[in-house]
Amino acid sequence: MDKIYLNSMKFYGYHGLFPEENKLGQHFTVDLQLEAELKEAAATDDMTKSIDYGAVHEVTKKIVEGPARNLVETVAEELAETLFKEFALLEGCLVRVNKLHPPIPGHYDSVSVEIYRSRSE
């Protein structure tokens, strides 16, 4: 299966268990690996035979910058489900949601949740 990558998309969201996360918000990045058959798109140079990266970004932004969720796991799952609804050519997707500055004890660059979903599941 062919793959499209959208890496390190940056957003500001309000997800987390702590009230200050829901009120103040924080930075998130999202990485996507989208699986689709792209041979026809390449052969015909026809965008309708591929997945529009800009449209994927807009869907991602709407979810990550949308209603607050307690868990980034929920954000990742909602993103995968919405991508399948919006893009008929999508066969599989790897979604990684990165919380850049988690308010938890210890020293972290980030914490991440990564899920893989396929249309056949």
For the annotated catalytic residues, the residue numbers are: 99
Spell out the SS3 assignment of 10-49: EEEECCCCCHHHHHHCEEEEEEEEEEECCHHHHHHCCHHH
Element of type H or E holding 54? helix 53-64
- Residue 16's DSSP bridge partners are none
For residues 9 and 62, the answer to whether their CB atoms sit within 8 Å is: no
Q: How far apart are CA 42 and CA 10, in angstroms?
A: 28
